[in-house]
């Protein structure tokens, strides 16, 4: 189960609206390498994990990603909450506005709606952990792209920089989880069977 | 009134800093479950966090339901106070 804390993991206080930036940053809410996909990926993968430490990593990182989801939504909300009709029309935000006004809805910057095909839960330990490591790197690259777009907006830059740093830490933790798994498998052939499904011959 | 706003922001900031250590150490311990020094470090920050969360709940309302019993009982501040996405106090 879960409990909620009524605060953000890192403060977000954006003073000026900016619909263009909001449209780009929205991708880290519901885009292909966004925080919804991250959290659902790790929380869903837990059930096929035969090793407790790895389930712990997936639970705790999957939970932290929910806090990141809330931060990204807050950034988008604060960038759009006081938009005028003129700004909506001139910034290219009208396509989003027509369906969602200035509410938060998960989609990629290019308009593609969130879809669970953006992550995998394969039921195979090594497959899943390698996906997780790639996912953290892809999210880091996306945050790097966002940082280049937000250089002149310190209120936006600081929380994005925090989120980027967390991707690097999580990559490290998933790398350690993969090492823990491999230490328990036959080093001559890690991929001979699926320890989450096939019964190992001792 | 300015002072009370500053105190509230400072306390919320401190909770954020303390909890960052809790999150980071939790994830570290998941893959280093026998690191005794790290466990002691985490425990220290868990205690600090509980203390700060308690103080915040008493002064300004609860940030989590488990601290709601330390609050003013005339009003359910969990519901009536601003939500985090609205920005600074």
Distance CA A18, CA A29 (A): 17
Nearest CA in chain B to A8: B84
Per CB-CB distance under 8 Å, the chain A contacts of B22 are none
User: Which residues, 6+ apart, have CB-to-CB distance to A15 below 8 Å?
Assistant: A155
Count of alpha carbons within 13 angstroms of residue B19, beta-carbon side: 19
Query: Across the 202 residues of chain A, what is the mean pLDDT of every consecutive 10-residue run?
Result: 97 96 98 98 96 97 98 98 95 96 97 96 96 98 98 98 98 98 89 80 53
Distance from CA of B85 to the nearest CA of A (A): 5
Q: What beta strand segments (E) does A21-163 contain?
A: none
Query: Which among B13, B32, B63 is the nearest to A5, CB-wise?
Result: B63
User: Does the structure show a pLDDT above 70 at B88?
Assistant: no
Count of alpha carbons within 13 angstroms of residue A163, beta-carbon side: 35
C-alpha distances in Å from residue B85, one per residue of A67, A141, A145, B82: 12, 25, 24, 8
Instruction: Tell me the DSSP string of A3-27.
Output: ---SS-SS-----S--HHHHHHHTH
pTM value surpassing 0.80 = yes
Query: Which among B23, B66, B78 is the nearest to A64, CB-wise?
Result: B23
Task: Tell me if ipTM is over 0.90.
Answer: yes
User: Does the structure show a pLDDT above 80 at B89?
Assistant: no
Structural domains in chain A, CATH included, are 19-183 (1.20.1260.10)
pLDDT 10s digits, B8-47: 999 999 999 999 999 999 999 999 999 999 999 999 999 9
pLDDT 10s digits, A184-193: 998 888 888 8
User: Does the structure show a pLDDT above 50 at B1?
Assistant: no
Sort A45 into a burial class: Cβ within 10 Å, 0-12 / 13-18 / 19+: buried
CB spacing of B87 vs A13 below 8 angstroms: yes
Q: Does B6 touch chain A (CB under 8 A)?
A: no
pLDDT 10s digits, A66-110: 999 999 999 999 999 999 999 999 999 999 999 999 999 999 999
Per CB-CB distance under 8 Å, the chain B contacts of A53 are 30-31, 33
């Amino acid at each position: 189960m879960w409990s909620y804390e009524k605060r953000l993991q890192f403060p977000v206080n954006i003073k000026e609206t900016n619909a263009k930036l909001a449209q780009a940053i929205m991708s880290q809410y519901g885009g292909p390498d966004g925080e919804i996909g991250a959290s659902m990926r790790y929380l869903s993968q837990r059930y096929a994990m035969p090793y407790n430490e790895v389930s712990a990593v997936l639970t705790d990182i999957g939970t932290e990603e929910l806090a990141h989801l809330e931060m990204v939504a807050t950034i988008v909300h604060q960038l759009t909450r006081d938009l005028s009709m003129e700004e909506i029309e001139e910034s290219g935000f009208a396509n989003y506005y027509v369906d969602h006004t200035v509410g938060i809805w998960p989609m990629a910057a290019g308009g593609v709606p969130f879809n669970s095909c953006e992550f995998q839960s394969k039921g195979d330990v090594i497959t899943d952990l390698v996906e997780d490591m790639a996912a953290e790197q892809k999210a880091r690259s996306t945050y790097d792209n966002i940082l280049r777009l937000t250089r002149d907006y310190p209120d936006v830059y600081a929380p994005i920089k925090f989120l980027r740093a967390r991707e690097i830490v999580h990559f490290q933790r998933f790398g350690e989880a993969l090492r823990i798994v491999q230490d328990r498998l036959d080093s001559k052939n890690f991929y001979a069977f699926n320890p989450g499904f096939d019964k190992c011959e001792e | 009134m300015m002072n009370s706003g500053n105190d509230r922001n400072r306390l919320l900031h401190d909770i954020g800093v303390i909890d960052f250590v809790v999150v980071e150490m939790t994830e570290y311990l998941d893959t280093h479950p026998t690191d005794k020094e790290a466990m002691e470090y985490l425990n220290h920050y868990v205690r600090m966090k509980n203390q700060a969360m308690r103080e915040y709940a008493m002064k300004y309302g609860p940030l989590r339901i488990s601290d709601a019993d330390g609050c003013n009982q005339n009003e359910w501040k969990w519901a009536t106070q601003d939500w985090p996405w609205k920005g600074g106090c």
